[in-house]
Chain A
């Protein structure tokens, strides 16, 4: 199917968004079923989800996808009816089917079709393990499914374009279009199952286009006292009515529509069609959120940023106005208007900030499946524990965190956890344990991945990196994050925790402005801890002044602000050090660092403000003129032209329109360590 029209593209986008959400839930429920195969909620949910997928993919013409979803639906229908139990092999087949669906969806999202994908093998497996042969004409079942999915809540059907297409196709094939009505006797305690028997038999021998009420998704049972089915068939009428020979089914009435009736049916279009589709969607997938393109959010964010600046300008105008005489009543009004604008802008900023935040569950939810697959592949038994799924974090951080975190977990499973045999010998429970947790601590998000595996062999790391014995084990362990520390050949040798960990560390430290470290006990497991800022777009900062200019220092990098007088200072040749908690740290005159003249050394007055900044590579004390204020800053990227020495991580526009630069403290500490010569 080629998507050319705008509506079709919109439809496709809506489909993909929904499919993604649906797959996530499918995955969750399958994992739940793996632990508890008889969980009725999950069985029903999977049935419902596969059904939705079947109908919606059919609507867009993805026949293979729809067929696959249909087979899954059938399997779960049988399980639901307790005609089938979820055996291990069946579960595996279901997982393969779910993987295949994933693959098809991602193909579709790349603009390809589903027609090159071979679904036969997986479907064959499902058929075999499900213990039933499926009908051989998949097209028909898909059409039927789509028709049923229309489920419009009215006796007189209004057909969707695909159903209208079905009607015309049937007429071309020379089939009759019929409307069959039956009543379900009041004696039937439950009406839906009775009506379903009729529907099901009709589906087997005719092409069902539409039913009222909707048969595929059970509604209120009372609705099913009467069933109206629109179908096409070339069978004699009595063959069709024969299916109604079911206990407690009464008054079957088959009406063959004539040309005018069919024409009327085809011409009836539902103005509210879109609305009704979306209502039925929301009733099937319970969710109180919508997916929004991140770019759109960024756009709104930018606009609000601009708004705050004009708001500040207006406040200034108001100040100027109030210093003049006269126009008292207008002044009052301007003041009130300005106040309201200020309040609303602040609230808006907060609210939009909120939309950038998503629960980390969106990331964590993919790990149970990862752990399951990997542990089965590796023949290890693993229990996964996830805590703090609700912790909220900036979308862009979540996106950037996915790969590093996956890698860490993979490493834990592959190299951290021992084989069952080895665990038994070490008097450990045979089932290994991996815990992933997230929580907020101050202005940061802490994410921890812990396992109870064999831990790092610090001795070997020490030997390989040639580190002497003065350095503590804890520090030695951090070497797994050093570039090129471990190669593939070392993997097993070193409990292999170094593979790709340097890449993980770079991504976390540089792209996400976070930190990562490791703690490990030989034989007692490994804990990897990641610290991340809440967001990459707002930075809580300390504004300082230096030689008449203002700069911002991210509060997350600040250890402490201090007053320095001469007796706290140690002078060694040209360098000046500050005795901080017994540690000698370099005092850097900010001005001379910024101007590339740090070798001139810091000029100390009698009483100086210092900002102790800390990064993984070390600490430094920045000498500044004045500590101005703390503020939440919106970070703006800056051109390389302004930042050829990489002193800044960005800039920001303050409320009064003033522009200040945000210091990259890691870089400044680095310049300080190199004695101020950074090559420029």
Chain B
């Protein structure tokens, strides 16, 4: 079976991943404009190629404790239909080829995250990788928690 490429990133202690084909670009954390009216997990907006793109802080969204922005932080720009989103992650670890059948078929609650946001779990060498349904997380109303 053909392998698919995945971007692996870290948030806190966890390793998460989304398919590379959902990713437009990975950029450094800079020039983020604060938006006072936005929900707390929105760090602000960036100007990405002339588009106004919200930056979602996944650390805050996952109800993890706040951390200062460091040089390792990255914004992963993803796109669905006409709208782009930036997701702020602690660091980008690697790009992996995954065989589809190596992914645990049943999504399950992991790291305290609700099962509906998890596409699958894979054991990679020495760590456990959580495949996220990032667009589901992004389209979920701010009042609804991602965590159990």
Contact = CB atoms under 8 A, between A and B. Distances in A.
Interface in B78-127: 82-83, 85
B38 A653 contact: no
Given A642-B42, A642-B45, A651-B45, A637 B50 contact: no
Contact of A638 (B36, B49, B54, B56): B54
Given A641-B142, A657-B31, A549 B50 contact: no
Interface stretch (A52-60, A160-168, A302-310): A302-310
Given A549-B36, A659-B33, A661-B35, A636 B42 contact: no
A548 to B, nearest CB: 9
B39 interface: yes
Interface string A570-603: 0000000000000000000000001100000000
A655 to B, nearest CB: 11
A636 B49 contact: no
A471 interface: no
A658 B45 contact: no
B88 to A, nearest CB: 13
A2 interface: no
Contacts of A547: 36
Contacts of A9: none
Interface in A642-680: 642, 644-645, 647, 651-653, 657-659, 661
Contact of A644 (B31, B39, B53, B83): B39
B65 interface: no
A305 B49 CA distance: 9
A126 B53 CA distance: 61
A309 B39 contact: no
A637 B36 contact: no
Interface residues of B, number: 25
A424 to B, nearest CB: 57
A118 B69 CA distance: 71
Nearest to A638: B52
B38 A659 contact: no
Nearest to B49: A306
A638 B56 CA distance: 14
A659 B32 CA distance: 9
Contacts of A644: 39, 141-142
Contacts, number: 61
Contact of A642 (B35, B49, B50, B51): B35
B134 to A, nearest CB: 13
A651 B53 CA distance: 10
Contacts of B34: 549
Contacts of A638: 45, 52, 54
A450 B126 CA distance: 77
Contact of A594 (B37, B42, B51, B82): B37
Interface string B44-66: 01110111111010000000000
Nearest to B53: A639
B27 interface: no
Contacts of A639: 53-54, 83, 85
B128 interface: no
B38 A641 contact: yes
A314 to B, nearest CB: 15
A507 B39 CA distance: 30
A641 B54 contact: yes
Contacts of B56: 641
A595 B50 contact: no
A661 B38 CA distance: 12
Contacts of A309: 47, 50
Contacts of A636: 50-52
Contact of A653 (B36, B52, B54, B141): B52
A449 B16 CA distance: 60
A485 B61 CA distance: 45
Q: Identify which of A306, A639, A644, A647 gathers the most chain B CB atoms within 10 Å of its CB.
A: A639
B113 to A, nearest CB: 19
Interface in A287-335: 302, 305-306, 309
Contact of B85 (A306, A594, A641, A661): A641
Given A637-B82, A642-B38, A651-B45, A658 B54 contact: no
Interface in A614-648: 636-639, 641-642, 644-645, 647
A468 to B, nearest CB: 39
Contacts of A645: 37
A309 B33 CA distance: 16
Interface string A537-555: 0000000000101000000
Given A595-B36, A645-B37, A305 B50 contact: yes
Contacts of A306: 49-50
Contacts of B45: 638, 642, 651, 659
Contacts of B141: 644
B66 to A, nearest CB: 19
Contact of B42 (A641, A652, A653): A641
A651 B36 CA distance: 14
B54 A659 contact: no
B51 to A, nearest CB: 6
Q: Identify which of A305, A547, A636, A659 gathers the most chain B CB atoms within 10 Å of its CB.
A: A659
Contacts of B138: 641
A639 B47 CA distance: 13
B37 A647 contact: yes
A644 B37 CA distance: 9
B60 to A, nearest CB: 13
Contacts of B85: 639, 641
A638 B85 CA distance: 10
A652 B138 CA distance: 22
Nearest to A547: B36
Contacts of B83: 637, 639
B127 to A, nearest CB: 30
Contacts of A305: 50
A146 to B, nearest CB: 43
B38 A658 contact: no
Nearest to A551: B37
B47 to A, nearest CB: 5
Contacts of B37: 594-595, 642, 645, 647, 661
Contacts of B31: 657
A306 B34 CA distance: 21
Nearest to B33: A659
A27 to B, nearest CB: 35
A598 B50 CA distance: 32
A651 B83 CA distance: 13
A383 B14 CA distance: 74
Q: Identify which of A302, A645, A651 gathers the most chain B CB atoms within 10 Å of its CB.
A: A651
Nearest to A596: B37
Interface string B134-145: 000010011000
A659 B47 contact: yes
A302 B50 CA distance: 8
B87 to A, nearest CB: 11
Nearest to B35: A642
6 contacts: A595-B37, A641-B85, A642-B38, A644-B39, A644-B142, A659-B52
Given A639-B85, A653-B50, 8 more contacts: A305-B50, A549-B36, A638-B45, A641-B39, A641-B85, A642-B38, A653-B47, A659-B52
The 6 A-B pairs of least Cβ separation, nearest first, read A651-B52, A306-B50, A305-B50, A659-B33, A636-B52, A653-B47
Interface of B: 31, 33-39, 42, 45-47, 49-54, 56, 82-83, 85, 138, 141-142
